[in-house]
Amino acid sequence: MASNNSAPHVFNPTAEDAYWQDAFRKEPYYKPELDYQDYSPAYRVGYTGPLRRGGSFNALEGELHRDWEQVKGPSRLTWDEARQATRAAWRRVVER
């Protein structure tokens, strides 16, 4: 198992996006009034974060928050809500 400080060896952003499109409604933080377009930027920040930065999610949270603010577009999530999706996507890529 990779540590939180390791980038994944193989990474396919198209596959990650497809996974989250199917899985996001099953996550404990999911809100039925929101759709995938709300969550998508948070997942993208999470699954690309380990490739762009070295360190743990906790150590980099401030930078990930700034990334979210730059890419969130019309998402209705606050950072507090997006953080959960970002962390889930981060964990998925570093723990595989």
Handedness of CA 56, 59, 90, 30 (dihedral sign): positive
Distance CA 86, CA 49 (A): 9
33-67 pLDDT, tens per residue?
Answer: 999 999 999 999 999 999 888 899 999 999 999 99
Residue 62 placed within a domain: yes
* Structural domain that includes position 51: 13-94
Residue 34 placed within a domain: yes
Residue 51 placed within a domain: yes
Residue 2 placed within a domain: no
9-18 pLDDT, tens per residue?
Answer: 567 899 999 9
Residue 6 placed within a domain: no
Q: Could you tell me which of 70, 65, 95 has the C-alpha nearest to residue 83?
A: 65
Residue 1 has pLDDT above 50, yes or no: no
The pTM assigned to this predicted structure is 0.88
Residue 32 placed within a domain: yes
Residue 4 placed within a domain: no
Residue 4 has pLDDT above 50, yes or no: no
73-84 pLDDT, tens per residue?
Answer: 999 999 999 999
Residue 7 placed within a domain: no
Number of domains present in the structure of the chain: 1
